Amino acid sequence: MVIKVVSSSSKGNLTIIKLSNQKVILIDCGVGITKLKKELNQSLNIQSIDYLFLTHGHQDHIQGLASIVKKFPPKIVYLSNATLNLVKDIFYDYQINYQIIKRDQELITEDFSLLTIGANHDFPQTMGFIFHIEGKKLSYLTDSGFVDYEYLEAMKDSDLIFLEANHDETMLNNDISISYPLKKRISGPLGHLSNDSFCIVLDNIITKPTIVIAMHISQERNQLKLVQDCFNRQIKRKYKVDLYLSTSVEFDSLKSIIL
């Protein structure tokens, strides 16, 4: 399979997984159709979308939904009831097939199995996903202030981990451009993982050589070097892990990963 993180930040989120049978999974729709068409047609030679998963209803995860389903109507969309309440008019307009999913739900399709996991975020019913595809285990979790113990256990033994490293705590605390309540929201239990929290989670779930993609890295309150340095100090010296850094500043900075 081929994995491509098109964008992952507060500006927009979208990840593509292309299976060996050429079927396509999209996670979130936070970028516009122009960028997606480039990735689908040029980078991955994709003509249609088979599965679309929406983690939650914040704009950086759904703002491209209408344009994407109009051009590439997915065969089915999986989402929470809370997210459906925001996008149901789009589904009605374009006659999109969808299925409501909840946390801790097992799902089996003809191409993969999946477990939904809970994320601690300030949008209700935000979730992540653990895929079992083609003999590989992929864990996907962003937009979570912390990770519950039961999900740390569930994410162990992953071959590929998508996990957010949203902010550097010092940069966040020193940022005079945002209010104190917003700082508390970002760093709080319903906000986002810091670089240190990112590494703590990895330290609890890595059990074998794996690939890690650092997701949702803030452009204003983090730096790629800080993520890398934190990872090198806390993770790289203990485990055999390949780290990739995803952004929205340079869409092509994260090349496709073949798993």
- The DSSP 8-state label assigned to residue 83 in this structure reads H
Q: Which two tokens stand for residue 159?
A: 């071959």
pLDDT in tens, the chain (259 residues): 999 999 998 889 999 999 999 999 999 999 988 878 777 766 677 788 999 999 999 999 999 999 999 989 999 999 999 999 999 999 999 999 999 999 999 999 999 999 999 999 999 999 999 999 999 999 999 999 999 999 999 999 999 999 999 999 999 999 999 999 999 999 999 999 999 999 999 999 999 999 999 999 999 999 999 999 999 999 998 889 999 998 765 444 466 888 8
For 132, phi then psi, to 5°, come to: -115, 105
Q: What is the pTM of this model?
A: 0.95
What string of DSSP letters covers 159-215?
SEEEEE--B-HHHHHH-TTS-HHHHHHHHSTTS--BHHHHHHHHHHH--SSEEEEEE
Q: How far is CA 81 from CA 13, 27, 125, 142, in A?
A: 20, 17, 8, 19
Residue type at 137?
K
Domains of the chain (ranges; CATH) run 2-258 (3.60.15.10)
Residue 35 contacts by C-beta under 8 Å, 6 or more apart in sequence? 6, 7, 251
Q: Which two tokens stand for residue 136?
A: 């590989």
